[in-house]
């Protein structure tokens, strides 16, 4: 019986290690950015600043929602922020594009439900090729059994 338990534990461990290899592919960040610029008929950007969020939610049937908060850090330049929200289970081409124009020092709040995403979770990426900017996501729950809010800063990246 001890040997059987050891074999089952080894199989479970192997399954845990190999499962990411068998997981379904989702578009990588580079593919999303390249796809966006190809659609726009532009060359890939030489430099960009951006944020990657591994969790945003619009599960309003359970009381959950997300609000993007973006700000332009420039004192004199109007910038464009582009990006995608990729709902859970979306295939390539199923991402939701986001385009935001910000005046100097402007702060904008974008409710995720306004992007057209259904009641599901997602990951998101926002970037700008013109100038550095600030961004975050306010996650909230209005369900009386689990009320609260959380701030997600996201992973900041710079691509020279």
Find the domain containing 61 and state its range: 2-159
Q: Are 107 and 75 in contact (CB under 8 A)?
A: no
Residues of the chain with pLDDT under 70: 1-47, 160
Rounded to whole angstroms, the Cα distance separating 98 from 81 reads 8
What's the CA gap between 45 and 159, in Å, rounded? Answer: 9
CATH of the domain at 26: 2.60.290.11
Q: Rounded to two decimals, what is the model's pTM?
A: 0.69
Q: What is the pLDDT of residue 73?
A: 87
**Total domain count for the chain?**
1
The pair of structure tokens assigned to 38 is 């190809």
The pLDDT value recorded for residue 120 is: 86
- What's the pLDDT score for residue 78? 92
């Amino acid at each position: 019986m001890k040997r059987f338990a050891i074999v089952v534990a080894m199989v479970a461990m192997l399954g845990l290690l190999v499962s990411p290899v068998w997981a379904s592919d989702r578009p990588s960040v580079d593919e999303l950015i390249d796809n966006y610029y190809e659609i726009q008929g532009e060359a890939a950007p030489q430099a960009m600043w951006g944020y990657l969020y591994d969790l945003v939610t619009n599960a309003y049937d359970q009381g959950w929602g997300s609000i993007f908060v973006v700000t332009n850090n420039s004192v004199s330049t109007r910038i464009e922020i582009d990006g995608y929200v990729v709902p859970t289970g979306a295939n390539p081409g199923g991402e939701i594009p986001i385009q935001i124009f910000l005046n100097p020092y402007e702060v904008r709040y974008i409710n995720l439900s306004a992007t057209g995403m259904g009641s599901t979770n997602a990951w998101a990426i926002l970037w700008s090729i013109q100038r550095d900017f600030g961004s975050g996501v306010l996650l909230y729950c209005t369900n009386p059994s689990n009320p609260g809010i959380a701030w997600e800063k996201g992973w900041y990246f710079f691509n020279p």
